[in-house]
Structure 1
Amino acid sequence: MPDLPETVTRRLRLPLALTWVGILAERVARCFWPLWCLCAALLGGLMLGLQDALPLEFLWVLLVGSALAALGLAAWGAWRFRWPRRGEALARMDAMLPQRPLAALADRQAVGRGDAASEALWARHQSRMQEAAAGARSVQPDLRLSRRDPHGLRYIALLILAVAMLFGSAWRIGDVRDLRGTGAALAQGPVWEGWIEPPAYTGLPSLYLADQAEAFEVPEGSRITLRFYGELGALSLAETVSGRTEDLGAATDAEQSFALTQSGELRIDGPGGKGWVVAVRPDLAPQIALIPEEGRTSFDGQMQQVFKAVDDYGVTGGQAIIRLDMDAVERRYGLATAPEAREPIELTLPLPIAGDRAEFTETLVENLSQHPWAHLPVTMTLEAEDAAGQTGQSAAYEMPLPARRFFDPVAAAVIELRRDLLWSRDNGRRVAQVIRAISHAPEDKLFRPASAYLRLRFILRRLETAMESGTFTAERRDQIAEAMWELAVLIEDGDIGDALARMQQAQERLSEAMRNGANEDEIAELMQELRDATQDYLRQKMQQAQRDEDQGLDSPQQDRNAMELSQQDLQDMMDRIQELMEQGRMAEAQQALQEFQELMENLQMAERGQGGSEGQEAMEGLADTLREQQGLSDQAFRDLQEQFNPGANSGQSGQNEGRSGGEGRGQSHEGQGGRGEGSGQTPGSQQGQGEGQPSGQSDLAERQEALRRELERQRGNLPGGGSAADEATREALDRAGDAMEGAENALRNNDLAGAIDQQSQAMEALREGMRSLGEAMAERQNQQPGGQGETEGAAGQQRADPLGREPGFGRHTGTQDNLLQGEDVYRRARELLDEIRRRSGEGDRPEIERNYLERLLDRF
């Protein structure tokens, strides 16, 4: 091709050079690919020890044949190879441009020379071609060989070379140089080869024995495999590393395999033999230790014990063993009896879901509140096991077995009796006597709720019947213990609405006594009642706050901004009121009591600060329905007592005050057809009842029906849509409505015991519905941005990260779901890890999200 103008040549110098190099690469690849395939396959075979596996004659034939084939392929490639020229590079670049401007620029005007118009037209044509040539770029070479290598021989050669580089040794190639000098010796004399295989759990690679230095170190338990070739007996093995004393074969056996158990020497005697000093690195037993200062126990008795485990190759399992410390047990009361034999408690220790298990810190989470050893002195020992079967053990840690604590005196007594019963069945009669003493003529409001008394008497009846009939087996004992646990939880948890009502009632009675000029003894008694009611209310609030904290729920915004009063502050205010009354300054005492009432009302209003929302209104309506149902259940229980013991409640009619189904002349069920003020009689003790159904029970049935209709109305007005929590709320309220209808029918049929059972089911379903409604409200808050004008917003309204965790406030960070509930904690953790890995591998996700997911996986 003729030369181009200087300006064009200067601009195309680099693209032209790159195109020329590309053409050269194409021709080299097409002409010499069989040669480099043969070289790669032969090189890979030699690195893998092909020369050791083939007889010498075959090896020489292979090498000579490969050399001749390489020469022939090189000659064939050189014969076909053509050195690329500059014109070929220009032609390839020109072919990629429209109108082939480079060829046009090399042309010369043949017609019209001397004609000004013709020359101007030619100059214009050349100018346009120069503009088109300015876009010339280097052309990529076509290195595809699929048409010349349809069977993919080049990939087979590359695979052999890659495997040789991973698992072979480059030093083996040097053995080919010795074939000329040692060929006779190899043909006549023996050879050997050997491998060292560390235990699989170490994750270390296998070693070729011939490549090792005279002294090397391997893990304990590694296995050596030796093979002797040639004349039998020419090579022999001498070693002190296996420690074998039995089942020893001959030192000259053609194949030998043994494990390394100790440091020593390894020597192969004979032609071409070699010796090594082998240091065996021992596999250390795992170490595990409890970190008691980081352990804690939640409100409901859930134990969280932190521990740390270390092993040189990784821990594969572990357990915590808890044994009763009999020497530290205070042997009195029910514990003075010889205990029944019980196996130690064995708990499986959690391990990291993924990542390195050579050193880690984890937390053992378990709730042993129902175990017979709860709060008794025990010793906890942790054990860890590694892949070699070695076990490491921590020092025994002495502690009381963490469990839930019961603060209500009756609940605590029931739990203690339950412990005595589980300690030994010989305590059965003592437990029955104490229960009978507790339940005999109980003081007013000792059992809250009132149905707890009936359940305690039923437990007593079951216990005494089992002992008298001789069927007090371990299984029957465990059933009674389970019923006692449920009763204690019912008494302990109580209902915060009842506690608030008792506190308000105590305030009103004290205020009325002060206005009516009651004597000092009455005022002191009423003051003590107010102290007890306030203490009970504060305890219920603390328990509720602890439950919310354990479940990961934040307090409302108003609670954080509201005035914080300690228990001591309230006690000081009540001490001031009592001091003023003792000094006869009734007006000032009345004013201080009024301030106390206003303070408590302000705190309650602060707690209801978010009550304007639709969901909060529904929650408050269900809470009122639950209190109404509790009142009806208490009234039914008193009527049942009156049937079996007429006149037993006569002292509770005229003087006591209550609400929502309470006793005496207090408020009845507001809006539910109650009898109003001054009734003076309980429904079950009216006179003049004719035959058939008692009028008191008919009144209860009507009130139960009205409460059921109110629940149906509330269910129809529930907010939300089709979320799982919303559906769970409606299902729970359906069950509550069915139970209320069953209680209504039982009341109309004069079946008070059946009515109480149905009412208990209705209350449990209502509580479940309220919990589900709270979860639904939290979900809806998570899906909404923070409200306008809020500087912080509620915790549930903040944006969550890709894992569903919320920023929260202070240390309240995380999802509102308790991830440690249930028995599938680790399965859920594995599923979460798999989901993170899946998402991190999706290329269509935003880069910022994938970077975040990769940071989460860094520790794994």
Structure 2
Amino acid sequence: MASFSRHDAEKTLKSVRWPLRLTWMGLLTEAVVHSFWPLLSVCLLVMSALMLGLQDLVGVEIVWGSAVISVLAGVAALVYALRSFRLPTREDAILRLDASLPGRPLQALTDTQTIGSGDAASTAVWRAHQKRMAARAQLAKPVPADLQTPKRDPYALRYMALLAFGIALLFGSIWRVGSVSEMTPGGAGLAAGPVWEGWAESPRYTGRPTIYLNDIDAGELAVPAGSLITMRMYGEIGALTLTETVSGRADVAAVSDPAQDFVVVQDGEITISGPGGRSWQVVVIPDQPPEIAVLSDPSASAMGEMTLPFYAVDDYAVEAGEARFSLDLAAVDRRYGLTIEPESRPELIVPLPMPISGSRAEFEENLIEDFSQHPWANLPVAVSLSALDGAEQQFETEPRAIVLPGRRFFDPVAAAVIEARRDLLWSRANGPTIAQVMRAVSYEPQELFRKETDALRLRQVIRTLELHAKYGITDEKQQELADDMWDLALILEEGDLADAAERMRRAQERLNEAIKNGASDEEIAELMQELRRATEDYLQQLSRQAQRDQQEQQPGQQGDQQNSMQMTQDDLQRMMDRIQELMEQGRMAEAQQALQELQEMMENMRVTQGQQGQGGQSPGEQAMEGLSETLREQQGLSDQAFRDLQEQFNPNAQAGENQGNEGRNGGQGRGTEHEGEGQGQGGQQDGQAQNGQPGEGGEQGSIADRQQDLRNELSRQQQNLPGAGTPEGDAARDALDRAGRAMDDAEDALRQNDLAEAIDNQGQAMEALREGMRALGEMMAEQQQNGQPGQGTQPGDQRADSRDPLGREAGNSGVQGDDSPLALNDDAYGRARELLDEIRRRSGDTERPEVERDYLNRLLDRF
């Protein structure tokens, strides 16, 4: 017994009639595309060639040959379409729709029960099945047609035809198709008949499209000035003639010339006389010149950078612009070095910035330049702006009187140097006067200069100026002196790297104390701003120092140092932002901890900057090398004090020749001439002390001075010692503090001629130095093991970092070099076996983390 009657099945199929109809239409479209795509491609290609006018560019024979080939291809494509096309039936649509549904419910609804029809249970199952299939059939949706033909068109010829037709629609004309009829046998007279074509091409900067004149009816024709008119006339010469009054040409071509090109410069008329002729009244769209204006007087930043706002407008676009600065000599205060006539200098011309994106028809921009080093800086000038458009039209503003912004110097000596530099660039005839004035300014250098080197720099400039002023200052020497004076003024104004570092350190200490003492939010914010300014000043000085160092280094070393410094600046900026954020949130304890980390980072930066050029050593290695040198010098001073003490008890012997008095090389001593003695003092020897009596205190006074110098050197090394905040670093600092106190006691004893006490204190100092070096070495080993960031990986460390746990160099497949740690051990292979056994034991320990055991297993697989 059937669960559903055929009526029920037809009723279910009617419920899905719309999905079924749409699926049938998709099958029909699919059949048409699969069958007629070759014919459609041939038609599109032929139409594309005709619309582009290719038939007018080749001979009649080629056109006829192409026509025959096109007809044959069309017939073949039509035969292929008729043979392969098959109209889809309703059953095809049912099968396509049924295949898209799970379980093919439409087919199931038409089935009948053939087994177990007499069994009630089997019949109930069959009815339930057909109900489920009927429910699924209600969910039917149209099946989209498959229009892809990759198997039938492996070379994608249909897309080539479609692309050609698209190009023809953009650049061709449907009117050109009719020209092929002129090439038929009955149209010989028509083919020879006169026809014409014309185009009006606007200037490119206008952005307007080209006009095809054959599509423009007679009447008014508006085109921009400078448009190019192109006319082509075909057929019998003289049948068509062209007259125009828009170009203003002096040498007008013959009116019957078949090819004529001219530019529209004025209103007028264009007329084509003859069969199919046409006439236009041409109206020229004028191109307005650009306009530009200065919006306000220029402003200057604290460093002298000028900002000049301006406004520009044009009917199409402003192509370029420039600013011209000329000296306003009438407004200059002609005093002092400006009294004499200035040297002739060209106008200062700088290009104006243009918008990178967006329209240039109307915009506002800022001219930002730094003219601080120009001879006219801070002097009256006249500035005029000019703008240029695409038509080469230029507009220039009236000169505007301004003071050319430049950097201001507030340090008196720096301001004097800058004024002397200005006078030198004003006229080199001021050279002798400038030298006299600068000598007067620097008469008391100890009261004016923070460092003796700055005074020496100024003296060198004065000497050079005086020397060349006698024989005439050349252009090159004038610029060289100006550059030297500018650099000197910057150093005097801003200070050097040490001054900037000291200001930053004081700002850090003040902020730290304010956080500890619970200062108000306003005070902390002010101190934080002071720290930012001091840090920016320090980073600026650091960058200048790095640039000077890079000029003295090899080109291959410059990039790494610059990148390293840039990373440090980013880290500092992030840390200061973090400190300010913590303080704003009231988390003062965390802010204080972050400030301490900032101080440590800046300390490491100062160490790195101060030790550049020492072969790429890390800060720890540099500190260790410096302490080693200090220990050697202290040993030398102790040896000399001991020899002098021996000579006190044997006054009859010559100085330095007591029995058993040996230098550090094991040879017999010769007073202050012992080998290696006095290192670090520039190789200077106190020859006068050899001739004096040992007990008169002359030699002891010399040793005491050298002891004091060594103590000062140790203090400098303590400031640059890395590892602040680590146990090993703190232990090294404590040991060096003890060494410093012992050196102070030794100096006092030497000045009091108590050599025995001095030797004891010097021994304590050497012992403390050794303890500090041991602590520093432990810190370096700990940092290398942990791979702490910020210390850098120096070339000497990269090799150690690239070794595997067995001491082998990475990348050599386990082959060990002669200089590896295992090469120093006679039982190297036994040690390697012990390490492998230990790795195997740990990899089998299930209580260890999974990540660690995976790493150990990878080691075993590799080694």
Using the size of structure 1 for normalisation, the TM-score is: 0.58
Which whole-Å CA distance do the structure 1 matches of 2:193 and 2:725 have between them?
94
Which whole-Å CA distance do the structure 1 matches of 2:273 and 2:110 have between them?
80
Q: Letter of the aligned partner of 2:220 in structure 1? A: A
Which whole-Å CA distance do the structure 2 matches of 1:19 and 1:89 have between them?
6
Alpha-carbon contact 1:4-1:102 (below 8 Å) kept? no
Pairing 1:268-417 to 2, within 5 Å after superposition: 268-293=272-297, 295-417=298-420
Task: Tell me the CA shift for residue 193 of structure 1.
Answer: 1.1
Match of 1:21 in 2: 25
Please say if 1:249 is aligned against 2:232.
no
Change (3 A) 1:27 1:709: same
Match of 1:231 in 2: 236
Match of 2:193 in 1: 189
Where does the alignment leave 5 or more consecutive residues of structure 1 unmatched? 504-536, 564-604, 628-687, 720-778, 781-860
Match of 1:475 in 2: 476
Match of 2:520 in 1: none
CA deviations on 1:746-790 (whole Å, 9 max, x unpaired) are xxxxxxxxxxxxxxxxxxxxxxxxxxxxxxxxx99xxxxxxxxxx
Q: Letter of the aligned partner of 1:195 in structure 2? A: W
Pick which of 136-145 and 206-215 moved more. Answer: 136-145
Task: Tell me the CA shift for residue 119 of structure 1.
Answer: 4.1
Task: Tell me the CA shift for residue 326 of structure 1.
Answer: 0.9
Which whole-Å CA distance do the structure 1 matches of 2:603 and 2:85 have between them?
92
Match of 1:446 in 2: 448
SS of match in other structure, 1:389: coil
Task: Tell me the CA shift for residue 323 of structure 1.
Answer: 0.8
Change (3 A) 1:178 1:274: farther
Alpha-carbon contact 1:493-1:540 (below 8 Å) kept? no
Which whole-Å CA distance do the structure 1 matches of 2:151 and 2:456 have between them?
93
Match of 1:820 in 2: none
Which whole-Å CA distance do the structure 2 matches of 1:696 and 1:105 have between them?
117
Pairing 1:729-744 to 2, within 5 Å after superposition: none
Alpha-carbon contact 1:610-1:616 (below 8 Å) kept? no
Match of 1:615 in 2: 598
Match of 2:555 in 1: none
CA deviations on 1:346-373 (whole Å, 9 max, x unpaired) are 2122222333333332222221111111
CA deviations on 1:792-832 (whole Å, 9 max, x unpaired) are xxxxxxxxxxxxxxxxxxxxxxxxxxxxxxxxxxxxxxxxx
Task: Tell me the CA shift for residue 144 of structure 1.
Answer: 2.6
Task: Tell me the CA shift for residue 300 of structure 1.
Answer: 1.1
Alpha-carbon contact 2:603-2:720 (below 8 Å) kept? no
Task: Tell me the CA shift for residue 492 of structure 1.
Answer: 1.9
* Aligned mate of 2:464, from 437, 462, 465: 462
Match of 1:32 in 2: 36
Q: Letter of the aligned partner of 1:619 in structure 2? A: M
> Identity, % of aligned pairs?
45
Alpha-carbon contact 2:312-2:318 (below 8 Å) kept? yes
Which whole-Å CA distance do the structure 2 matches of 1:621 and 1:26 have between them?
75
Match of 1:710 in 2: 718
Change (3 A) 1:282 1:324: same
Q: Letter of the aligned partner of 1:332 in structure 2? A: R
Change (3 A) 1:343 1:130: same
Pairing 1:59-70 to 2, within 5 Å after superposition: none
Task: Tell me the CA shift for residue 378 of structure 1.
Answer: 0.6
Alpha-carbon contact 2:246-2:265 (below 8 Å) kept? yes
Pick which of 31-40 and 391-400 moved more. Answer: 31-40
* Aligned mate of 2:227, from 212, 222, 225: 222
Change (3 A) 1:170 1:701: farther
Change (3 A) 1:341 1:7: same
CA deviations on 1:141-194 (whole Å, 9 max, x unpaired) are 2223344445544223312221122112345567789999x9576334211112
Q: Letter of the aligned partner of 1:227 in structure 2? A: R
Please say if 1:259 is aligned against 2:263.
yes
SS of match in other structure, 1:404: coil
Task: Tell me the CA shift for residue 374 of structure 1.
Answer: 1.2
Which whole-Å CA distance do the structure 1 matches of 2:27 and 2:718 have between them?
90
SS of match in other structure, 1:226: strand
CA deviations on 1:403-456 (whole Å, 9 max, x unpaired) are 0111222222221111111111111111111112222246x6333345433322
Task: Tell me the CA shift for residue 309 of structure 1.
Answer: 2.5
Match of 1:424 in 2: 427
Alpha-carbon contact 2:269-2:282 (below 8 Å) kept? yes
Task: Tell me the CA shift for residue 543 of structure 1.
Answer: 7.8
SS of match in other structure, 2:271: strand
Change (3 A) 1:458 1:79: closer
CA deviations on 1:366-399 (whole Å, 9 max, x unpaired) are 2111111111101112223334333222232211
Task: Tell me the CA shift for residue 548 of structure 1.
Answer: 10
Which whole-Å CA distance do the structure 2 matches of 1:21 and 1:262 have between them?
61
Match of 1:668 in 2: none
Which whole-Å CA distance do the structure 2 matches of 1:478 and 1:699 have between them?
46
SS of match in other structure, 1:234: coil
Count of equivalent residues: 580
Which whole-Å CA distance do the structure 2 matches of 1:623 and 1:76 have between them?
85
Which whole-Å CA distance do the structure 2 matches of 1:186 and 1:64 have between them?
22
Change (3 A) 1:395 1:183: farther
Task: Tell me the CA shift for residue 257 of structure 1.
Answer: 1.5
Which whole-Å CA distance do the structure 1 matches of 2:302 and 2:173 have between them?
63
Q: Letter of the aligned partner of 1:492 in structure 2? A: E
Task: Tell me the CA shift for residue 622 of structure 1.
Answer: 7.7
Change (3 A) 1:13 1:446: same
Which whole-Å CA distance do the structure 1 matches of 2:49 and 2:117 have between them?
71
Please say if 1:200 is aligned against 2:204.
yes
Match of 2:772 in 1: none
SS of match in other structure, 1:405: coil
Match of 2:548 in 1: none
Alpha-carbon contact 2:500-2:538 (below 8 Å) kept? no
Task: Tell me the CA shift for residue 66 of structure 1.
Answer: 7.4
Q: Letter of the aligned partner of 1:462 in structure 2? A: T
Using the size of structure 2 for normalisation, the TM-score is: 0.58
Change (3 A) 1:699 1:53: same
SS of match in other structure, 1:488: helix
Pairing 1:759-774 to 2, within 5 Å after superposition: none
SS of match in other structure, 1:227: strand
Change (3 A) 1:74 1:458: closer
Match of 2:485 in 1: 484
Which whole-Å CA distance do the structure 1 matches of 2:69 and 2:606 have between them?
95
Alpha-carbon contact 1:611-1:617 (below 8 Å) kept? no
Match of 1:756 in 2: none
Change (3 A) 1:618 1:85: closer
Change (3 A) 1:380 1:472: same
CA deviations on 1:715-760 (whole Å, 9 max, x unpaired) are x5599xxxxxxxxxxxxxxxxxxxxxxxxxxxxxxxxxxxxxxxxx
Match of 2:563 in 1: none
Match of 2:648 in 1: none
Task: Tell me the CA shift for residue 25 of structure 1.
Answer: 1.3
Q: Letter of the aligned partner of 2:718 in structure 1? A: E
Match of 1:849 in 2: none
